[in-house]
Structure 1
Protein backbone atom coordinates (compact mmCIF):
# COMPACT_ATOMS: atom_id res chain seq x y z
CA UNK A 1 0.00 0.00 0.00
CA UNK A 2 2.01 2.94 -1.33
CA UNK A 3 1.64 6.71 -0.84
CA UNK A 4 0.10 6.16 2.57
CA UNK A 5 1.42 8.18 5.52
CA UNK A 6 0.95 6.81 9.03
CA UNK A 7 1.62 8.53 12.35
CA UNK A 8 2.28 6.31 15.38
CA UNK A 9 1.88 8.07 18.74
CA UNK A 10 3.31 5.59 21.24
CA UNK A 11 5.64 6.00 24.23
CA UNK A 12 6.81 2.36 24.12
CA UNK A 13 9.61 3.08 21.66
CA UNK A 14 10.56 -0.54 20.96
CA UNK A 15 6.95 -1.46 20.18
CA UNK A 16 6.48 1.61 17.97
CA UNK A 17 9.63 0.77 16.00
CA UNK A 18 8.50 -2.81 15.40
CA UNK A 19 5.12 -1.61 14.13
CA UNK A 20 6.86 1.03 12.02
CA UNK A 21 9.03 -1.63 10.37
CA UNK A 22 6.02 -3.81 9.59
CA UNK A 23 4.13 -0.89 8.06
CA UNK A 24 7.16 0.18 6.04
CA UNK A 25 7.56 -3.34 4.70
CA UNK A 26 3.97 -2.99 3.51
CA UNK A 27 4.95 0.10 1.54
CA UNK A 28 3.73 2.81 3.92
CA UNK A 29 5.54 5.91 5.15
CA UNK A 30 5.66 6.09 8.94
CA UNK A 31 6.40 8.84 11.45
CA UNK A 32 6.80 8.28 15.21
CA UNK A 33 5.93 10.46 18.19
CA UNK A 34 6.73 9.28 21.72
CA UNK A 35 4.58 11.87 23.52
CA UNK A 36 1.17 13.36 22.90
CA UNK A 37 2.30 16.96 23.31
CA UNK A 38 2.45 17.91 19.63
CA UNK A 39 0.33 15.13 18.15
CA UNK A 40 -2.64 17.25 17.08
CA UNK A 41 -0.47 19.92 15.50
CA UNK A 42 1.58 17.27 13.67
CA UNK A 43 -1.51 15.60 12.22
CA UNK A 44 -3.06 18.87 11.06
CA UNK A 45 0.18 20.15 9.56
CA UNK A 46 1.28 16.98 7.77
CA UNK A 47 -2.10 15.46 6.86
CA UNK A 48 -1.40 11.83 7.68
CA UNK A 49 -3.69 9.16 6.24
CA UNK A 50 -4.12 7.31 9.56
CA UNK A 51 -3.09 7.64 13.21
CA UNK A 52 -2.20 4.78 15.55
CA UNK A 53 -2.80 6.39 18.94
CA UNK A 54 -1.97 4.96 22.35
CA UNK A 55 -4.33 5.80 25.20
CA UNK A 56 -1.73 6.42 27.92
CA UNK A 57 0.86 8.96 26.78
CA UNK A 58 3.15 11.46 28.47
CA UNK A 59 2.29 15.09 27.85
CA UNK A 60 -1.24 14.82 26.45
CA UNK A 61 -3.15 11.53 26.72
CA UNK A 62 -4.73 9.74 23.78
CA UNK A 63 -8.24 10.49 24.99
CA UNK A 64 -7.66 14.24 24.72
CA UNK A 65 -5.86 13.93 21.38
CA UNK A 66 -8.70 11.91 19.88
CA UNK A 67 -11.30 14.41 21.06
CA UNK A 68 -9.37 17.38 19.68
CA UNK A 69 -8.73 15.67 16.35
CA UNK A 70 -12.39 14.79 15.91
CA UNK A 71 -13.29 18.46 16.28
CA UNK A 72 -10.91 19.43 13.48
CA UNK A 73 -10.26 16.39 11.29
CA UNK A 74 -11.78 13.14 10.06
CA UNK A 75 -8.42 11.35 9.84
CA UNK A 76 -8.84 7.63 10.65
CA UNK A 77 -7.71 6.74 14.19
CA UNK A 78 -6.85 3.33 15.61
CA UNK A 79 -6.58 3.57 19.40
CA UNK A 80 -4.47 1.13 21.40
CA UNK A 81 -4.60 0.36 25.11
CA UNK A 82 -3.04 -2.13 27.51
CA UNK A 83 -6.37 -3.07 29.11
CA UNK A 84 -9.45 -4.51 27.43
CA UNK A 85 -11.63 -2.83 30.09
CA UNK A 86 -10.46 0.54 28.76
CA UNK A 87 -11.86 -0.28 25.32
CA UNK A 88 -15.33 -0.67 26.80
CA UNK A 89 -14.96 2.70 28.55
CA UNK A 90 -13.73 4.37 25.37
CA UNK A 91 -16.69 3.02 23.43
CA UNK A 92 -19.02 4.57 25.98
CA UNK A 93 -17.36 7.95 25.51
CA UNK A 94 -18.21 7.96 21.77
CA UNK A 95 -14.80 9.31 20.80
CA UNK A 96 -15.13 8.55 17.11
CA UNK A 97 -12.07 6.34 16.74
CA UNK A 98 -12.27 3.96 13.77
CA UNK A 99 -10.94 0.91 15.61
CA UNK A 100 -9.58 -0.19 18.98
CA UNK A 101 -6.76 -2.68 19.64
CA UNK A 102 -5.78 -4.12 22.98
CA UNK A 103 -2.13 -4.76 23.89
CA UNK A 104 -0.30 -7.03 23.53
CA UNK A 105 -1.18 -7.25 19.86
CA UNK A 106 0.42 -8.87 16.85
CA UNK A 107 2.08 -6.32 14.56
CA UNK A 108 0.72 -8.32 11.61
CA UNK A 109 -2.80 -7.99 12.99
CA UNK A 110 -2.35 -4.25 13.45
CA UNK A 111 -1.14 -3.87 9.86
CA UNK A 112 -4.22 -5.79 8.72
CA UNK A 113 -6.43 -3.46 10.78
CA UNK A 114 -4.70 -0.42 9.23
CA UNK A 115 -5.30 -1.74 5.73
CA UNK A 116 -8.95 -2.52 6.55
CA UNK A 117 -9.60 0.97 7.91
CA UNK A 118 -7.92 2.62 4.93
CA UNK A 119 -9.95 0.51 2.48
CA UNK A 120 -13.18 1.64 4.11
CA UNK A 121 -12.52 5.36 3.97
CA UNK A 122 -13.53 6.15 0.36
CA UNK A 123 -16.91 4.46 0.66
CA UNK A 124 -19.94 5.69 2.53
CA UNK A 125 -23.70 5.72 2.61
CA UNK A 126 -26.31 3.79 4.48
CA UNK A 127 -26.59 0.72 2.28
CA UNK A 128 -23.62 -1.62 2.32
CA UNK A 129 -22.38 -3.64 -0.63
CA UNK A 130 -19.02 -5.38 -0.98
CA UNK A 131 -17.45 -6.03 -4.34
CA UNK A 132 -16.06 -9.42 -3.31
CA UNK A 133 -19.22 -11.09 -2.04
CA UNK A 134 -21.91 -8.54 -2.87
CA UNK A 135 -23.68 -8.32 0.46
CA UNK A 136 -26.39 -5.71 0.03
CA UNK A 137 -28.50 -4.20 2.79
CA UNK A 138 -31.69 -2.42 1.78
CA UNK A 139 -33.16 -0.52 4.78
CA UNK A 140 -36.29 0.49 2.86
CA UNK A 141 -37.26 -3.09 2.01
CA UNK A 142 -35.86 -4.62 5.22
CA UNK A 143 -33.95 -7.05 3.01
CA UNK A 144 -30.37 -8.31 3.01
CA UNK A 145 -29.02 -10.28 0.06
CA UNK A 146 -25.79 -12.13 -0.57
CA UNK A 147 -24.83 -12.61 -4.24
CA UNK A 148 -28.45 -11.75 -5.03
CA UNK A 149 -29.87 -14.44 -2.75
CA UNK A 150 -32.07 -13.39 0.17
CA UNK A 151 -30.56 -14.15 3.57
CA UNK A 152 -34.04 -14.50 5.08
CA UNK A 153 -33.14 -12.48 8.16
CA UNK A 154 -35.71 -11.87 10.84
CA UNK A 155 -36.63 -8.26 11.54
CA UNK A 156 -34.36 -8.19 14.59
CA UNK A 157 -31.47 -9.84 12.76
CA UNK A 158 -31.81 -7.33 9.94
CA UNK A 159 -31.92 -4.38 12.38
CA UNK A 160 -28.74 -5.60 14.06
CA UNK A 161 -26.83 -6.22 10.82
CA UNK A 162 -27.93 -2.86 9.41
CA UNK A 163 -26.80 -1.04 12.58
CA UNK A 164 -23.37 -2.64 12.37
CA UNK A 165 -22.98 -2.16 8.62
CA UNK A 166 -23.89 1.52 8.78
CA UNK A 167 -20.51 2.15 10.49
CA UNK A 168 -18.01 -0.33 8.99
CA UNK A 169 -15.10 -1.04 11.31
CA UNK A 170 -16.65 0.73 14.27
CA UNK A 171 -16.61 -1.43 17.41
CA UNK A 172 -19.93 -1.40 19.25
CA UNK A 173 -20.65 -2.68 22.73
CA UNK A 174 -23.78 -4.77 23.26
CA UNK A 175 -25.47 -1.88 25.07
CA UNK A 176 -24.77 0.43 22.14
CA UNK A 177 -26.21 -2.12 19.70
CA UNK A 178 -29.32 -2.39 21.84
CA UNK A 179 -29.82 1.36 21.62
CA UNK A 180 -29.09 1.55 17.88
CA UNK A 181 -30.90 -1.54 16.61
CA UNK A 182 -33.69 -1.99 19.14
CA UNK A 183 -34.45 1.40 20.76
CA UNK A 184 -38.11 0.55 21.46
CA UNK A 185 -37.87 -3.24 21.82
CA UNK A 186 -38.07 -4.11 25.53
CA UNK A 187 -37.79 -7.84 24.84
CA UNK A 188 -34.19 -7.68 23.59
CA UNK A 189 -31.38 -7.76 26.16
CA UNK A 190 -27.61 -7.37 25.89
CA UNK A 191 -26.89 -11.11 25.75
CA UNK A 192 -29.64 -11.56 23.17
CA UNK A 193 -27.28 -9.73 20.83
CA UNK A 194 -24.94 -12.74 20.85
CA UNK A 195 -27.77 -15.06 19.79
CA UNK A 196 -28.78 -12.80 16.90
CA UNK A 197 -25.14 -12.51 15.76
CA UNK A 198 -24.84 -16.30 15.72
CA UNK A 199 -27.98 -16.56 13.59
CA UNK A 200 -26.75 -13.91 11.15
CA UNK A 201 -23.41 -15.69 10.80
CA UNK A 202 -25.12 -19.05 10.29
CA UNK A 203 -27.25 -17.67 7.46
CA UNK A 204 -24.24 -16.02 5.80
CA UNK A 205 -22.12 -19.16 6.22
CA UNK A 206 -24.83 -21.22 4.52
CA UNK A 207 -23.86 -19.39 1.31
CA UNK A 208 -20.18 -18.47 1.77
CA UNK A 209 -17.20 -18.90 4.13
CA UNK A 210 -16.91 -15.12 4.45
CA UNK A 211 -17.65 -13.63 7.90
CA UNK A 212 -18.25 -9.86 7.91
CA UNK A 213 -18.70 -9.58 11.67
CA UNK A 214 -15.66 -9.35 13.95
CA UNK A 215 -16.02 -10.28 17.62
CA UNK A 216 -14.02 -8.10 20.03
CA UNK A 217 -13.44 -10.14 23.17
CA UNK A 218 -15.02 -8.62 26.24
CA UNK A 219 -16.40 -5.65 24.28
CA UNK A 220 -18.78 -6.35 21.40
CA UNK A 221 -18.82 -6.52 17.62
CA UNK A 222 -17.73 -4.70 14.46
CA UNK A 223 -18.77 -5.02 10.82
CA UNK A 224 -15.73 -5.65 8.61
CA UNK A 225 -17.38 -5.84 5.20
Structure 2
Protein backbone atom coordinates (compact mmCIF):
# COMPACT_ATOMS: atom_id res chain seq x y z
CA UNK A 1 0.00 0.00 0.00
CA UNK A 2 1.30 3.43 -0.95
CA UNK A 3 -0.09 5.34 2.09
CA UNK A 4 -2.07 4.93 5.35
CA UNK A 5 -5.12 6.41 3.56
CA UNK A 6 -4.90 3.85 0.76
CA UNK A 7 -4.53 1.06 3.34
CA UNK A 8 -7.58 2.40 5.21
CA UNK A 9 -9.63 2.58 1.99
CA UNK A 10 -8.84 -1.09 1.40
CA UNK A 11 -9.68 -2.00 5.01
CA UNK A 12 -12.97 -0.06 4.80
CA UNK A 13 -13.92 -1.76 1.53
CA UNK A 14 -13.04 -5.24 2.74
CA UNK A 15 -14.94 -4.70 6.01
CA UNK A 16 -17.99 -3.37 4.14
CA UNK A 17 -18.10 -6.52 2.01
CA UNK A 18 -17.34 -8.93 4.88
CA UNK A 19 -19.99 -7.44 7.19
CA UNK A 20 -22.80 -6.92 4.66
CA UNK A 21 -22.53 -9.35 1.74
CA UNK A 22 -25.71 -11.49 1.85
CA UNK A 23 -25.13 -15.22 2.12
CA UNK A 24 -27.35 -16.22 -0.80
CA UNK A 25 -27.02 -13.04 -2.87
CA UNK A 26 -27.93 -13.38 -6.53
CA UNK A 27 -27.54 -9.79 -7.79
CA UNK A 28 -24.95 -7.24 -6.60
CA UNK A 29 -24.60 -3.58 -7.59
CA UNK A 30 -21.04 -2.30 -7.95
CA UNK A 31 -20.34 1.43 -8.24
CA UNK A 32 -17.22 3.39 -9.11
CA UNK A 33 -14.53 5.40 -7.38
CA UNK A 34 -11.11 4.83 -5.85
CA UNK A 35 -12.42 2.96 -2.77
CA UNK A 36 -14.88 0.77 -4.70
CA UNK A 37 -11.86 -0.70 -6.54
CA UNK A 38 -11.19 -2.61 -3.30
CA UNK A 39 -14.86 -3.60 -2.95
CA UNK A 40 -14.71 -5.28 -6.37
CA UNK A 41 -11.37 -6.86 -5.43
CA UNK A 42 -12.86 -8.35 -2.24
CA UNK A 43 -16.01 -9.60 -3.97
CA UNK A 44 -13.76 -11.15 -6.63
CA UNK A 45 -12.08 -13.21 -3.86
CA UNK A 46 -15.35 -14.88 -2.80
CA UNK A 47 -15.46 -18.63 -3.46
CA UNK A 48 -19.06 -18.50 -4.69
CA UNK A 49 -18.50 -15.65 -7.16
CA UNK A 50 -19.98 -17.70 -10.02
CA UNK A 51 -23.31 -17.86 -8.17
CA UNK A 52 -24.21 -14.16 -8.47
CA UNK A 53 -24.35 -11.45 -11.13
CA UNK A 54 -22.88 -7.93 -10.77
CA UNK A 55 -24.61 -4.81 -12.10
CA UNK A 56 -22.41 -1.81 -12.99
CA UNK A 57 -23.21 1.90 -12.54
CA UNK A 58 -21.13 3.00 -15.54
CA UNK A 59 -18.13 2.22 -17.71
CA UNK A 60 -15.51 2.20 -14.92
CA UNK A 61 -17.51 -0.18 -12.72
CA UNK A 62 -18.15 -2.45 -15.71
CA UNK A 63 -14.36 -2.74 -16.08
CA UNK A 64 -13.97 -3.45 -12.33
CA UNK A 65 -16.47 -6.31 -12.61
CA UNK A 66 -14.71 -7.80 -15.64
CA UNK A 67 -11.19 -7.33 -14.23
CA UNK A 68 -12.11 -9.20 -11.04
CA UNK A 69 -13.56 -12.18 -12.89
CA UNK A 70 -17.13 -11.44 -11.83
CA UNK A 71 -20.26 -12.17 -13.82
CA UNK A 72 -21.48 -9.02 -15.60
CA UNK A 73 -25.18 -8.28 -15.97
CA UNK A 74 -27.40 -5.31 -16.82
CA UNK A 75 -30.07 -3.65 -14.73
CA UNK A 76 -32.52 -4.21 -17.59
CA UNK A 77 -32.11 -7.96 -16.92
CA UNK A 78 -31.94 -7.72 -13.11
CA UNK A 79 -34.02 -4.82 -11.75
CA UNK A 80 -34.04 -6.33 -8.23
CA UNK A 81 -30.63 -6.04 -6.55
CA UNK A 82 -29.79 -7.68 -3.20
CA UNK A 83 -27.11 -5.16 -2.19
CA UNK A 84 -25.18 -2.32 -3.84
CA UNK A 85 -21.79 -0.85 -2.90
CA UNK A 86 -20.70 2.59 -4.14
CA UNK A 87 -18.55 5.57 -3.25
CA UNK A 88 -19.62 9.18 -2.61
CA UNK A 89 -18.25 12.70 -3.04
CA UNK A 90 -19.64 13.82 0.33
CA UNK A 91 -21.60 12.19 3.19
CA UNK A 92 -23.40 13.87 6.10
CA UNK A 93 -24.28 12.22 9.47
CA UNK A 94 -27.80 11.36 8.22
CA UNK A 95 -26.13 9.51 5.30
CA UNK A 96 -27.36 12.00 2.74
CA UNK A 97 -24.88 11.96 -0.14
CA UNK A 98 -23.58 14.09 -2.97
CA UNK A 99 -22.60 11.89 -5.90
CA UNK A 100 -21.85 12.51 -9.56
CA UNK A 101 -18.31 13.92 -9.48
CA UNK A 102 -17.41 11.11 -11.86
CA UNK A 103 -20.43 11.87 -14.11
CA UNK A 104 -22.30 8.58 -13.47
CA UNK A 105 -24.96 9.88 -11.10
CA UNK A 106 -28.12 8.68 -12.90
CA UNK A 107 -26.96 5.08 -13.28
CA UNK A 108 -25.57 5.15 -9.72
CA UNK A 109 -28.95 6.28 -8.41
CA UNK A 110 -30.83 3.72 -10.51
CA UNK A 111 -28.72 0.87 -9.08
CA UNK A 112 -28.95 2.23 -5.50
CA UNK A 113 -32.74 2.59 -5.80
CA UNK A 114 -33.05 -0.97 -7.10
CA UNK A 115 -31.05 -2.39 -4.18
CA UNK A 116 -32.59 -3.78 -0.98
CA UNK A 117 -29.51 -2.42 0.85
CA UNK A 118 -27.11 0.34 -0.21
CA UNK A 119 -23.65 0.60 1.39
CA UNK A 120 -21.26 3.54 0.90
CA UNK A 121 -17.48 3.10 1.02
CA UNK A 122 -15.21 6.17 0.92
CA UNK A 123 -12.22 7.88 2.53
CA UNK A 124 -12.19 10.39 5.40
CA UNK A 125 -12.18 13.41 3.05
CA UNK A 126 -15.82 12.63 2.17
CA UNK A 127 -17.08 12.99 5.79
CA UNK A 128 -19.00 16.21 6.37
CA UNK A 129 -21.29 17.85 8.93
CA UNK A 130 -23.49 19.24 6.12
CA UNK A 131 -23.61 18.59 2.38
CA UNK A 132 -21.90 21.41 0.50
CA UNK A 133 -19.44 22.07 3.32
CA UNK A 134 -16.39 20.30 1.88
CA UNK A 135 -17.64 19.39 -1.63
CA UNK A 136 -17.56 22.84 -3.20
CA UNK A 137 -17.84 21.90 -6.88
CA UNK A 138 -21.62 21.98 -6.54
CA UNK A 139 -24.46 19.47 -6.80
CA UNK A 140 -24.12 17.47 -10.05
CA UNK A 141 -27.34 17.55 -12.07
CA UNK A 142 -27.87 15.45 -15.21
CA UNK A 143 -29.96 17.27 -17.80
CA UNK A 144 -31.27 16.86 -21.34
CA UNK A 145 -28.75 18.81 -23.49
CA UNK A 146 -31.03 21.45 -25.02
CA UNK A 147 -32.44 22.40 -21.59
CA UNK A 148 -29.17 23.68 -20.11
CA UNK A 149 -29.89 27.43 -20.47
CA UNK A 150 -33.41 27.17 -19.02
CA UNK A 151 -32.38 24.86 -16.16
CA UNK A 152 -29.38 27.10 -15.32
CA UNK A 153 -31.74 30.08 -15.05
CA UNK A 154 -34.10 28.09 -12.79
CA UNK A 155 -31.25 26.93 -10.52
CA UNK A 156 -30.21 30.53 -9.87
CA UNK A 157 -33.85 31.26 -8.99
CA UNK A 158 -33.70 28.40 -6.45
CA UNK A 159 -30.72 30.04 -4.76
CA UNK A 160 -27.67 28.62 -6.50
CA UNK A 161 -24.58 30.81 -6.04
CA UNK A 162 -22.90 29.46 -9.17
CA UNK A 163 -23.93 27.07 -11.95
CA UNK A 164 -21.44 25.55 -14.40
CA UNK A 165 -22.02 23.43 -17.46
CA UNK A 166 -19.37 20.76 -16.87
CA UNK A 167 -16.69 20.81 -19.57
CA UNK A 168 -14.60 17.94 -20.91
CA UNK A 169 -11.35 19.80 -20.19
CA UNK A 170 -8.19 18.81 -22.06
CA UNK A 171 -9.78 15.53 -23.15
CA UNK A 172 -12.71 17.08 -25.02
CA UNK A 173 -13.70 20.44 -26.46
CA UNK A 174 -17.18 21.19 -25.15
CA UNK A 175 -19.36 19.71 -22.41
CA UNK A 176 -18.97 16.35 -20.68
CA UNK A 177 -21.41 13.81 -22.16
CA UNK A 178 -22.76 11.26 -19.67
CA UNK A 179 -23.23 7.52 -20.35
CA UNK A 180 -26.84 8.47 -21.19
CA UNK A 181 -25.79 11.13 -23.74
CA UNK A 182 -26.82 14.00 -21.46
CA UNK A 183 -25.09 17.14 -20.10
CA UNK A 184 -24.12 17.84 -16.49
CA UNK A 185 -24.58 21.05 -14.53
CA UNK A 186 -22.73 21.63 -11.25
CA UNK A 187 -24.79 23.94 -9.03
CA UNK A 188 -23.18 25.35 -5.89
CA UNK A 189 -25.80 26.06 -3.21
CA UNK A 190 -23.25 26.38 -0.38
CA UNK A 191 -24.12 24.37 2.73
CA UNK A 192 -27.41 22.56 2.12
CA UNK A 193 -29.88 22.72 5.02
CA UNK A 194 -32.47 20.32 3.58
CA UNK A 195 -31.01 18.00 0.89
CA UNK A 196 -34.27 16.16 0.27
CA UNK A 197 -36.27 19.36 -0.30
CA UNK A 198 -33.59 20.73 -2.66
CA UNK A 199 -33.50 17.45 -4.59
CA UNK A 200 -37.29 17.56 -5.12
CA UNK A 201 -37.20 21.22 -6.21
CA UNK A 202 -34.48 20.53 -8.78
CA UNK A 203 -35.96 17.22 -9.99
CA UNK A 204 -39.26 18.97 -10.80
CA UNK A 205 -37.54 21.30 -13.30
CA UNK A 206 -38.29 20.42 -16.91
CA UNK A 207 -35.11 19.05 -18.50
CA UNK A 208 -33.64 17.56 -15.30
CA UNK A 209 -33.03 13.80 -15.48
CA UNK A 210 -31.82 13.48 -11.88
CA UNK A 211 -29.66 15.09 -9.21
CA UNK A 212 -26.56 13.97 -7.35
CA UNK A 213 -28.38 14.39 -4.03
CA UNK A 214 -29.00 10.88 -2.67
CA UNK A 215 -31.32 11.08 0.36
CA UNK A 216 -32.70 8.23 2.50
CA UNK A 217 -30.92 5.65 0.38
CA UNK A 218 -27.76 4.53 2.19
CA UNK A 219 -27.95 2.41 5.36
CA UNK A 220 -24.23 2.43 6.25
CA UNK A 221 -21.07 4.30 5.29
CA UNK A 222 -17.55 2.97 5.86
CA UNK A 223 -14.67 5.49 5.82
CA UNK A 224 -10.95 4.82 5.57
CA UNK A 225 -9.40 7.32 8.00
CA UNK A 226 -6.12 9.23 7.71
CA UNK A 227 -4.89 7.27 10.76
CA UNK A 228 -5.29 3.99 8.87
CA UNK A 229 -8.42 3.00 10.82
CA UNK A 230 -12.01 2.51 9.64
CA UNK A 231 -15.04 4.52 10.82
CA UNK A 232 -18.61 3.27 10.41
CA UNK A 233 -21.60 5.62 10.18
CA UNK A 234 -25.11 4.18 10.09
CA UNK A 235 -28.75 5.24 10.37
TM over 0.5: no
More helix by share: 1
Determine which structure has greater relative contact order: mean sequence separation of CA pairs < 8 Å that are 6+ residues apart, divided by chain length. Answer: 2
CA radius of gyration, larger in: 1
TM-score (norm 2): 0.32
